[in-house]
């Protein structure tokens, strides 16, 4: 049985949590492949609103093994808190498996991110200040600590000592902060180790064996394609790779295992933080999308920037991820607009761009070229099949699929499980 990948096609917050939850029904393993506790999936199930930042949303299904793969950075304190939170609402977290290769977020990562963002002033990246960027930085610099290091206190202490020698100099001499002490960190992390021990596994092998046994594996990304470290709008990006290619590296499987690549896309576009966003609407249209769509960050509570559907970035996402289908969310939010704008290309420096300009200055300067489609007034939240949608909403969806060149497989008209309508 094949693997499927769920990937965000815009700037994150597309509703991947909901999409994964919908698809999870048919899955045996759900694997989170990048990011850290900055993802903030919101899932509405069985009367509970659950906010999961790290644990894959598949945990809500008793038949699913949830996996955190190598490419995720893990703050063990946050992971344990999330597990306790699940247990408190009656969800059994014992089926969670975590790779021993995951790099850990350490207290100095949190501290350093706080002070460096302050130092950058108006050039601050607007990070979630969870220590995720600094943890990925240390991974690349090869001074990171991995979860498996927790299980040998001597090794853990040695590695921590090496890391702290440099970190404390930076904290004290550059930023005028107090140094961190090895002993206190060791005490805390050894306590985490005891609780995490039963959850640690060779997840690459686990995934491989599941695929050999004919099980269904869903690889779940966080953030979105335009926030990808390599493929996004650098430097206004996340510190890892949400694109499909990284799902393979992180899970440790080959490309031929993947059959479906499901691109999650909002019926409009939002973005948190700074960086280019050609279809942003600074007027009442954008305000209305933000209010009706409740566009506030799950993790930070920050107001998201809002704008119109951008077929240019979607075509790009389709290309760099190899999308086989689209899962369109939040169509219900568009009810009540007399007309809806859809961006088909950009204009920059006298030229027309059908694709995302590879030169970032051009992307910053890009002006959207819009096509206007008819809106609809009907409330869509009660629709239970595609046939229940008004003609204008169906025409809107058909046009999106046409412009992107990828078929739509599911349309979502509300946060509930029953509000996901199969479209193909």
Q: Which is nearer to ligand GDP, 12 or 286 (CB)?
A: 12
For residue 267, the minimal CB distance to ligand GDP (Å) is 8
Handedness of CA 384, 386, 391, 392 (dihedral sign): positive
Place of tokens 């108006």: 122
CA distance 287 to 139: 40
Question: Shortest CA distance to 224 belongs to which of 184, 265, 190?
Answer: 265
Active site residue 377: no
Count Cα neighbours of 227 within 13 Å in the Cβ-side half-sphere: 29
Nearest CB to ligand GDP, comparing residues 146 and 417 = 417
Q: Smallest gap, in angstroms, from Cβ of residue 286 to ligand GDP?
A: 17
Pairing mode, strands 258-266 and 3-8? parallel
Q: Judged by CB under 6 A, which of 1, 44, 110, 186 binds ligand GDP? A: 44
Q: Which of 21, 28, 41, 75 is catalytic?
A: 41
Q: How far apart are CA 142 and CA 194, in angstroms?
A: 25
Is 15 an interacting residue with respect to ligand GDP (CB under 6 A)?
Answer: yes
- Of the two residues 181 and 294, which places its CB atom closer to ligand GDP in the complex? 294
Q: Which of 41, 130, 139, 341 binds ligand GDP (CB under 6 A)?
A: 41
56 binding ligand GDP? (CB under 6 A): no
Beta bridge partner(s), residue 264: 8, 327
263 binds ligand GDP per the rule CB under 6 A: no
Residue of 13, 70, 138, 281 marked active site: 13
**At closest approach, how far in Å is the CB of 379 from ligand GDP?**
11
Token duo for residue 397: 């969806």
Question: Contact with ligand GDP (CB under 6 A): which of 103, 409, 415, 423?
Answer: 415
37 and 148 in contact (C-beta within 8 Å)?
no
Closest C-alpha to 389, from 424, 421, 417: 421
Whole-number Å distance between alpha carbons of 1 and 211: 6
Which residue of 17, 71, 252, 276 would you call a contact of ligand GDP, by CB under 6 A?
17
Helix (H, G, I), strand (E, B) or coil at 279: coil
409: phi then psi, degrees, rounded to nearest 5: -100, -30
Q: Taking the complex as a whole, how short is the minimal distance between the CB of residue 13 and ligand GDP, in angstroms? A: 4
| Among positions 9, 16, 83, 113, the unique one binding ligand GDP when judged by CB under 6 A | 16
Cβ closest to ligand GDP, residue 145 vs residue 342: 342
- Which of 34, 96, 16 shows the shortest CA–CA distance to 61? 96
- C-beta of 321 vs 412, nearer to ligand GDP: 412
Report how far residue 242's alpha carbon sits from residue 174's, in angstroms, rounded to the nearest whole number: 32
Convert residues 331-370 into a mask of x (bound to ligand GDP by CB under 6 A) and - (unbound). -xx-------------------------------------
Shortest approach of ligand GDP to residue 15 CB, angstroms?
Answer: 4
Between CA 27 and CA 4 the distance in angstroms is 9
Non-local (6+) Cβ contacts of 47 within 8 A are none
The answer to whether 10 contacts ligand GDP (rule: CB under 6 A) is no
* Alpha-carbon span 191 to 150, nearest angstrom: 10
- Contacting residue, 148, 204, 298, 300, with ligand GDP by CB under 6 A: 298
* Contact flag: residue 330 with ligand GDP (CB under 6 A): yes
Asked if 13 is an active-site residue, the reply is yes
Active site residues: 13, 41
Residues near ligand GDP, by CB under 6 A: 8, 12-18, 39-42, 44, 298, 329-330, 332-333, 412-415
């Amino acid at each position: 049985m094949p693997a499927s990948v769920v990937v965000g096609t815009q700037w994150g917050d597309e509703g991947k949590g909901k999409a994964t939850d919908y698809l999870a029904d048919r899955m045996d393993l759900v694997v989170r492949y990048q990011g850290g506790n900055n993802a903030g999936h919101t899932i509405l199930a069985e009367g509970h609103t659950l906010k999961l930042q790290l644990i894959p949303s598949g945990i809500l299904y008793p038949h699913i093994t949830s996996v955190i793969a190598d490419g995720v950075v893990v703050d063990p304190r946050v992971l344990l808190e999330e597990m306790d939170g699940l247990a408190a609402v009656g969800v059994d977290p014992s089926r969670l498996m975590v790779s021993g290769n995951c790099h850990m977020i350490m207290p100095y990562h949190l501290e350093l991110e706080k002070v460096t963002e302050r130092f950058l002033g108006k050039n601050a990246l607007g990070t979630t200040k969870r220590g995720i960027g600094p943890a990925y930085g240390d991974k690349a610099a090869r001074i990171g600590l991995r979860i498996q290091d927790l299980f040998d206190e001597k090794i853990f202490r040695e590695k921590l000592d090496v890391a702290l020698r440099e970190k404390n100099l930076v904290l004290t001499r550059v930023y005028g902060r107090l140094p961190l002490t090895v002993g206190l960190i060791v005490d805390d992390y050894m306590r985490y180790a005891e609780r995490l021990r039963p959850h640690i596994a060779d997840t690459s092998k686990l995934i491989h064996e599941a695929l050999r046994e004919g099980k269904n594996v869903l690889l779940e990304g966080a953030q979105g394609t335009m926030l990808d470290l390599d493929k996004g709008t650098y430097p206004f990006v996340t510190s890892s790779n949400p694109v499909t290619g990284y799902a393979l590296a992180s899970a440790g499987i080959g490309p031929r295992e993947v059959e479906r690549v499901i691109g999650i896309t909002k019926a409009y576009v939002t973005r948190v933080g700074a960086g280019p966003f050609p279809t942003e609407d600074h007027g009442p249209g954008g305000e209305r999308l933000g209010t009706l769509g409740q566009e506030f960050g799950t993790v930070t509570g920050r107001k998201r920037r809002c704008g119109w559907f951008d077929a240019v970035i979607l075509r790009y996402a389709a290309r760099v991820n190899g999308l086989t289908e689209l899962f369109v969310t939040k169509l219900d939010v568009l009810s009540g607009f007399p007309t809806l704008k859809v961006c088909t290309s950009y204009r920059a420096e006298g030229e027309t761009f059908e694709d995302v300009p590879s030169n970032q200055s051009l992307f910053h300067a890009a002006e959207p070229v819009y096509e206007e489609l008819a809106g609809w007034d009907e409330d869509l939240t009660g629709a239970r099949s595609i046939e229940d949608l008004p003609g204008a909403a169906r025409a809107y969806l058909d046009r999106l699929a046409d412009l992107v060149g990828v078929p739509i497989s599911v349309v979502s008209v509300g946060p509930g499980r029953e509000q996901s309508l199969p479209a193909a």
